[in-house]
Amino acid sequence: MSRPQDLVQGTLDLLLLKILALEPMNGHAISQRLKQVSGAVLQVSDGSLYPALHKLEQQGWVTATWKVTENNRRAKFYALSRAGRQQLDRESEAWTRLSTAITQVVNLGNARG
């Protein structure tokens, strides 16, 4: 198994916000979705997922509710808040700018070569 790539805390926030933008879900489901969507490239260790989720909640970008699942278990479901939606837009924009800039630098030599 390859070593999971450690993501910068900031981009993890962006990913989580985006996933929650689609629909509310609990931590386990978020972890699965992340692996699914990114084709198993982004392997976020669950040990850093939950602290990140809690930080987002403490900052008010996501809200949490407790629901009872089919198996009669209490589970914590996260959903994007209104402020969180705005934060998501801001972070996506920032990411796009950053990645464009990096791509440009990386492709520097290629145009000539």
Partner 1 sequence: MTVERLLHILRLRWLSLFRRNQVDRDLDDELRFHVEAETARLVAAGQDPESAADTAYRSLHGLERTAEQCRDTRGVAWAETLVQDLRYGARTLARNPGFTLAATVTLALGIGANTAVFTLLDGIVFAPLPFPDDSRLVSLQATYPAGGLVALREQLKTLDAASYATAKHVTLGAPGGAVRVSSVKTSAELFTVLGVRPAIGRVFRSGEDRAPGGRIAVLSHRSWVARFGADPTIVGRSVLVDGTAREIVGVMPPEFGFPASAVELWLPLTVDAGDTVAYWAGDFMPIVGRLRPGVDISQAQAEARLFQARIGERFPWRMPEDWNKDLTVIPLQQALVGDVTPRLMLLSIAVALVLVIACANVANLSLTKTAARAREIGIRSALGAGPRRIARQLLTESALLGLLGGIAGALVAVQMLSLLKIVLPPDTPRLMEVQLNWRVLAFTAAIALGAGCLFGLAPVLQAMRLRLRDTLDSAGRGAAASVGAPARAALTIAQIAGAVVLVIAAGLLVRSLWILTSADPGFRPDAVVTARVAPAATTCATAERCLVNYQQLVTSASAMPGIRDAALVNTLPLTGEVAKRSLQLEGFVPEPSKSAPLFWLHAITPRYFDVMGARLEAGRAFTDADVSGHARVAVVTATTARRYWPRESALGKQLRFVGENEWRTIVGVVGDLRAYDLTRPEPEWIDGTIYVPFNVTATLEDGAIPTQMTLVARGSGTSALSVAALGTTAQRAGGDLMVSDIRPMSAIVAERSAAPSATAALLVSMAVMALVLGSVGVYGVLSFLVSRRTRDLGVRMALGATPKDVFLLVIGEGARLCVAGIALGVAGALALTRWLQSELHGVSATDPATYALVVLVVALVTLAACYVPTRRAMAVDPLVALRDS
SS3 labels along 19-87: HHHHCCEEHHHHHHHHHHHCCCCCCCCHHHHHHHHHHHHHHCCEEEEEEECCCCCEEEEEEECHHHHHH
Report the nearest approach of partner 1 to the CB of residue 8 (Å).
17
Residue from 6, 23, 65, 82 binding partner 1 (CB under 8 A): 82
- Contact between 74 and partner 1 per CB under 8 A: yes
Residue from 21, 50, 85, 95 binding partner 1 (CB under 8 A): 50
Total of residues contacting partner 1 (CB under 8 A): 27
- Contact between 51 and partner 1 per CB under 8 A: yes
- Contact between 76 and partner 1 per CB under 8 A: yes
